[in-house]
Amino acid sequence: MALEQKRPTSPGTRFQIVDTYDDITQSKPEKSLCVRLQKNSGRGFKGRISSRHRGGGAKKIYRLIDFKRDKDNIPAEVLTIEYDPNRNVRISLVEYADKEKRYILSPLGIKIGEKIESGSDAEIKIGNSLPLKNIPLGSIIHNVELKPGKGGQLARSAGSQISLLAKEGEYAIIKMPSGEQRMIHLTCRATIGQLGNLDHKNISRGKAGKTRHMGRRPFVRGTAMNPCDHPHGGGEGKSGIGRSSPLSKWGKKTLGYKTRRGKRPSDRFILRRRKG
């Protein structure tokens, strides 16, 4: 992936850094692996807004990604490397020996024509998917399962990688990109290598319109509102929030105030938190 600094010929391009997409080999997706997405504009199943400032945006077609990688002992060939509007990492179209095609997350360094495989007997090679018990210590992995057979849930964004630190009994100890260390069952699968598109974090949109294309609408600061609309509102001119701690629009504390109820089932497998 390469980035391009736009020439400042307009206010929108003055600070814009865009992707050149020179690593893309195919512009049109595989039709058999695409489904239509229905926009919900931040609304839940009851029709109420659960995530504000969402709506509009360009139309997207969802690509069905094989997160499970459960087609064992059948080699597959990498056909294309494509752009996916639903995620910040590239995806690769692979074709198995029985002519079935699937999309996978594209690891760093994978090339067109390479052979990949899944299963316990697969080679320790970039793009291959194996159970954690068959992966050597110190390996860099991604698309890691939390439950056996559920499909990869960890390290699926651009540039993500997880380190395999140790194996104790029935569990492996991994180190997340955030620094968190947790235990994962040895029968859970992971894919060898680091995910590509490393420069995605350096992209600068440069203009508000680019954000609108992504389906994010403008949001207003609480200090710019009236007191009846936000706890931070009111005052003469540019005034502060008028209180010791910031509040949300509905009067709940923010910045460190815990709102989760009870413990999550997988919390007991966390050995070291990302915040120490």
Per-residue pLDDT 10s for the chain (276 aa) are 689 999 999 999 999 999 999 999 999 999 999 999 888 999 999 999 999 999 999 999 999 999 999 999 999 999 999 999 999 999 999 999 999 999 999 999 999 999 999 999 999 999 999 999 999 999 999 999 999 999 999 999 999 999 999 999 999 999 999 999 999 999 999 999 999 999 999 999 999 999 999 999 999 999 999 999 999 999 999 999 988 899 999 999 998 888 878 877 888 899 999 876
The CATH number of 3-201, from 3.20.20.60, 2.160.10.10, 1.20.1250.20, 2.40.50.140, is 2.40.50.140
Domain ranges of the chain: 3-201
pTM, two decimals, is: 0.90
Q: What is the pLDDT of residue 276?
A: 66
Cα gap 197→109, rounded to integer Å: 10
Nearest to 88 by CA among 211, 177, 203: 203
The residue behind tokens 């945006």 is 57
- Cβ–Cβ under 8 Å, residues 158 and 195: yes
Q: What is the pLDDT of residue 262?
A: 80
